[in-house]
Amino acid sequence: MFLDFNRDNQVTDSEASQEQVEEIVSRRLARLEKKVTSAEIHIAHVKESRTNNPEYRCSIEVRPENLNPVAASAEGVGVEAVVRSACDKVLHAYDKVVGKQGAR
């Protein structure tokens, strides 16, 4: 599975390094390794929270073979937590799409 990592210009390498994010995504989406051709990950800075911790949005789009792309996103404090949450959401969305395809 090819991983394409992007971040907006407000997110620094120290906040979200490419290696760190790709490692989390690879581990979380491991069961889709042979079913998905690529995954696109985008990290964006959303706003400062009330506790002065920056909030981030992570959007992930996976491209399964012979199906339309499946996407999900998550927002929150902490890049690692947001990436894990987005991975879980995209897995759920993928399972839902594949389940519907199987029912046809």
What is the value of pTM for the model shown?
Answer: 0.89
d(CA 77, CA 13): 16
User: Where does residue 20 rank: exposed (0-12), middle (13-18), buried (19+ CB within 10 A)?
Assistant: middle
d(CA 12, CA 68): 32
d(CA 64, CA 3): 13
Task: Give me the domain span that covers residue 32.
Answer: 2-103
Domains contained in the chain, number: 1
Least confident of 39-43, 64-68, 88-92: 64-68
Helices (H) and strands (E) in the chain, counts: 2, 4
Residue 48: CATH number of its domain: 3.30.160.100
Q: What is the pLDDT of residues 5-36, one digit of tens each?
A: 999 998 888 888 999 999 999 999 999 999 99
